[in-house]
Structure 1
Amino acid sequence: MTDVAVIGAGIAGLVCAQQLTQAGYSVRIVEKSRGLGGRVATRRLYGTCADHGACYLKPKGELFGRLLELLHQRHVLEVWTDTVYDFKSGSGLTIANTSPPTPRYVAPGGMSAIAKFLAQDLEILLNQRVIAITPTPENSWRLTLESSNEELTATSVVVAIPAPQALMLLEPLGETLLGTAFLNNLRSVEFYPCLSVMAGYPSTSQPLPHWKALNFVDDADLAWIGLDSSKRPSPEQPVFVVQSSAAFAQRHDQTQDLHPVGQYIVQRASEWLLPWLDTPEWIQVHRWRYAFPSRSLQEACLPANSSLPLICCGDWCGGNLVEGAMLSGLAAAEEINNYLRHLPLPKESFLNFLS
């Protein structure tokens, strides 16, 4: 029995769990993947790594800016660049319109290092998918786990995963238990998909570009490209990450073999930018079905209308990507605390362990 079960070890879930743990609650996180961070993700491959989710972080909002500064002081984050370029087919490269220049922070050890840092001292079950949530006669929630046939019992639940996945998990509980408005709000959230292509090149390739990050403004297939290896202290080879447009990812939603799709994406990038991008040494493709919220909720979190506390949170509450996920996790912790013991919960307490 635990006070709070958090489903999902992305930024929202980790921040919520850290806040509640420091207040004195017992908290367990259940994560279906083998790693932490959700879309703040890093792939280890071919002796290197590549950030195939969030590419960098910008200071946006006072609290999020403080978090980035603290992570910078602890050498989890470093400034990567303050210049991002736009590419248009008719006019070529121009500096993206940001005034004043804004630093982009990255983790030299991979962006998932942010999640690992936020996860300090938390109890986390990895590789465990929650397949059912049911109320118990003892006024608690029972979570059934897929791989181990085990169950976890908690006084309250925080569901910190994309809304469509939360809906699949919670819809069987029905409107009588959770409330019609709650389920309708979950149903209203929509996401853009994305395909993320990681490509490595021989160290003897042509000279590297002067840009580190570039937006494709008007391309039907491509959205972004970054020289990912420039984030690393001593890269052994050039590594690029190319992200597809949402429309392109939607067209390939049911494509099983994504390798040819990835080859096509780097070929398109080579046509616009660098001819040698068409001949990678290796390539991997990751499908993000829930990459960016296209229709968010305005609320910072979504409480169910149930007698037992159950809260949904994530970057789809309020938007603003990683910053929104952090603020949503804080809001969910506050809601849970209001249901439970009303312990002192300073808004910035989850940052204290960083200092």
Structure 2
Amino acid sequence: MIDVAVIGAGMAGLVCAQQLRKAGYSVIVVEKSRGLGGRLATRRLQRTSADHGACYLKPKGELLQGFVDLLCNANVLQIWTDTVYEFKTDIGIIPPQSLSPRYVAPQGMSAIAKFIAQGLDIVLNQRVIALNATENSWRLTLESSNEEITANALVVAIPAPQALALFAPLGGSFLDATFIEHLSSVEFQPCISAIAGYPSTSQPLPEWKALTFVDDPDIAWIGLDSSKRPNPQQPHFVVQSSAAFAQQHLESADLNAVGEYMLQHTAQTLTIPWLATPEWMQVHRWRYAFVSRPWPETVLSANTPLPLICCGDWCGGNLVEGAMLSGITAAMKINQQLRSLPDVNFFNFSPE
């Protein structure tokens, strides 16, 4: 029996787990993927790495700025650029109205998650396939091993639709209809990311490092991802689709064909012909990339006999900063329900 089980090792889940661990609780994190970070995702390929989820951090509030400063001091983050250009169909490439520093991890954005995860007990590559509630504990059944985890409290830090599917077998007898209704109200938009590498003898690289497409129906963003890496061996780009394009092609059986179209379209739009013929390419679909209809509060609590809190960037809907605040709030709520430890600083999010 442990104190708290956390499902999901994205930003919200890791922040919550680290807060609770430092407060003295026993915590275990279960993650279905092989790596940490959720959409703070880095793919290792072709002797390099590429960020195919969140491509940078742009702090807006005090909380994330403090965290970014901490990561810069730990040599995890550095400033990549302060200029993300815009592309408009009728004008072309234009500079942004204001400059704002974008921070990246030279080793990949997943390094942020690894920093937060220090000291945590994490089970990777294991999907929770069943939840059961006894009189005094939650029981989580894991897919690969049929192993069970027993915990006094449960934090679910995954996208709301995935949480809904996990809760469905519990039925209305344990979870009240209002909680399910609130969870069902959350909506996401998808995205498709294409990572493409080019020979080092390619044509001269563009002057920009990142470019937002303001009014393109298919493409939303392109970044020269190799410019984040120390001593890159060859140039590589990350291209991200619009939500409408991703929705149309989300279930495509041939994602490579989708990626090829994205590169061809981008090459034609920007008049950079060689972008259409990469040396290598990988494509990834994000079913829950961006929250389009968030839950308005920082967490979603269930009115159950056993502590159950949902958290994530869909609570408040402010991307990485929202996920951090949601994770911290979830830890505070769990603490209140378990034993209300005095003098716990739940906003000190750095591991030892």
TM-score by length of 2: 0.98
In structure 1, C-alpha distance between the alignment counterparts of 2:298 and 2:93, rounded to whole Å:
37
In structure 1, C-alpha distance between the alignment counterparts of 2:166 and 2:295, rounded to whole Å:
19
> Over aligned residue pairs, what C-alpha RMSD do you find?
0.9
C-alpha contact (below 8 Å) 1:17/1:27 kept by paired residues: yes
Matched residue, 1:95 = 95
Bigger mean CA offset, 249-258 vs 147-156: 249-258
The code of the aligned residue for 1:50 comes to A
Matching of residues 23-42 of structure 1 within 5 Å: 23-42=23-42
Q: What per-residue deviation string (whole Å, max 9, x for no partner) do you get for residues 111-151 of structure 1?
A: 000000000000000011001111124x1000000111100
Name the SS of the counterpart of 1:152 in structure 2.
strand
Matched residue, 2:3 = 3
Which residue of 277, 280, 304 corresponds with 1:279? 277
In structure 1, C-alpha distance between the alignment counterparts of 2:105 and 2:35, rounded to whole Å:
16
Answer yes or no: is 1:174 the counterpart of 2:185.
no
Matched residue, 2:322 = 324
In structure 1, C-alpha distance between the alignment counterparts of 2:96 and 2:337, rounded to whole Å:
45
| Alpha-carbon offset, residue 352 of structure 1 | 5.9
Q: Which runs of 5+ in 2 are unaligned?
A: none
In structure 1, C-alpha distance between the alignment counterparts of 2:150 and 2:344, rounded to whole Å:
24
In structure 2, C-alpha distance between the alignment counterparts of 1:253 and 1:238, rounded to whole Å:
27
Matched residue, 1:346 = 345
C-alpha contact (below 8 Å) 1:134/1:173 kept by paired residues: yes
Name the SS of the counterpart of 1:176 in structure 2.
coil
Matched residue, 2:64 = 64
In structure 1, C-alpha distance between the alignment counterparts of 2:184 and 2:265, rounded to whole Å:
35
C-alpha contact (below 8 Å) 1:32/1:129 kept by paired residues: yes
C-alpha contact (below 8 Å) 1:177/1:305 kept by paired residues: no
Q: How many residues of Structure 1 are paired with residues of Structure 2 in the alignment? A: 350
Which residue of 223, 226, 251 corresponds with 1:226? 223
| Alpha-carbon offset, residue 341 of structure 1 | 1.1
C-alpha contact (below 8 Å) 1:163/1:186 kept by paired residues: yes
Matched residue, 1:183 = 180
Name the SS of the counterpart of 2:165 in structure 1.
helix
In structure 1, C-alpha distance between the alignment counterparts of 2:4 and 2:107, rounded to whole Å:
31
In structure 1, C-alpha distance between the alignment counterparts of 2:152 and 2:30, rounded to whole Å:
15
In structure 1, C-alpha distance between the alignment counterparts of 2:287 and 2:26, rounded to whole Å:
32
In structure 2, C-alpha distance between the alignment counterparts of 1:83 and 1:49, rounded to whole Å:
22
Q: What per-residue deviation string (whole Å, max 9, x for no partner) do you get for residues 185-212 of structure 1?
A: 1100000000000000000000111100
Q: Which runs of 5+ in 1 are unaligned?
A: none
Answer yes or no: is 1:195 the counterpart of 2:192.
yes
| Alpha-carbon offset, residue 286 of structure 1 | 0.2
In structure 2, C-alpha distance between the alignment counterparts of 1:208 and 1:171, rounded to whole Å:
50
In structure 1, C-alpha distance between the alignment counterparts of 2:157 and 2:71, rounded to whole Å:
22
In structure 2, C-alpha distance between the alignment counterparts of 1:82 and 1:308, rounded to whole Å:
47
In structure 2, C-alpha distance between the alignment counterparts of 1:338 and 1:58, rounded to whole Å:
32
C-alpha contact (below 8 Å) 2:297/2:316 kept by paired residues: yes
Matched residue, 2:265 = 268
Matching of residues 298-317 of structure 1 within 5 Å: 298-317=296-315
Answer yes or no: is 1:21 the counterpart of 2:18.
no
| Alpha-carbon offset, residue 254 of structure 1 | 1.6
In structure 2, C-alpha distance between the alignment counterparts of 1:97 and 1:197, rounded to whole Å:
28
Which residue of 89, 114, 117 corresponds with 1:116? 114
| Alpha-carbon offset, residue 253 of structure 1 | 1.9
Matched residue, 1:134 = 132
C-alpha contact (below 8 Å) 1:203/1:238 kept by paired residues: yes
C-alpha contact (below 8 Å) 1:22/1:349 kept by paired residues: no
Answer yes or no: is 1:104 the counterpart of 2:102.
yes
Percent identity over paired residues: 67
Which residue of 242, 245, 249 corresponds with 2:246? 249
Name the SS of the counterpart of 2:296 in structure 1.
coil
In structure 1, C-alpha distance between the alignment counterparts of 2:226 and 2:246, rounded to whole Å:
24
| Alpha-carbon offset, residue 256 of structure 1 | 1.3
Matched residue, 1:237 = 234
In structure 2, C-alpha distance between the alignment counterparts of 1:167 and 1:97, rounded to whole Å:
41
TM-score by length of 1: 0.97
The code of the aligned residue for 2:84 comes to V
Name the SS of the counterpart of 2:113 in structure 1.
helix
In structure 2, C-alpha distance between the alignment counterparts of 1:19 and 1:346, rounded to whole Å:
8
C-alpha contact (below 8 Å) 2:118/2:351 kept by paired residues: no
The code of the aligned residue for 2:132 comes to T
In structure 2, C-alpha distance between the alignment counterparts of 1:219 and 1:191, rounded to whole Å:
20
Q: Which runs of 4+ in 1 moved over 3 A?
A: none
The code of the aligned residue for 2:221 comes to W
In structure 1, C-alpha distance between the alignment counterparts of 2:258 and 2:344, rounded to whole Å:
48
Matched residue, 1:55 = 55
Q: What per-residue deviation string (whole Å, max 9, x for no partner) do you get for residues 227-265 of structure 1?
A: 000001100000000000000011112211100110000
| Alpha-carbon offset, residue 102 of structure 1 | 1.2
| Alpha-carbon offset, residue 345 of structure 1 | 2.3
In structure 2, C-alpha distance between the alignment counterparts of 1:233 and 1:350, rounded to whole Å:
28
The code of the aligned residue for 1:241 comes to V
In structure 2, C-alpha distance between the alignment counterparts of 1:255 and 1:208, rounded to whole Å:
31
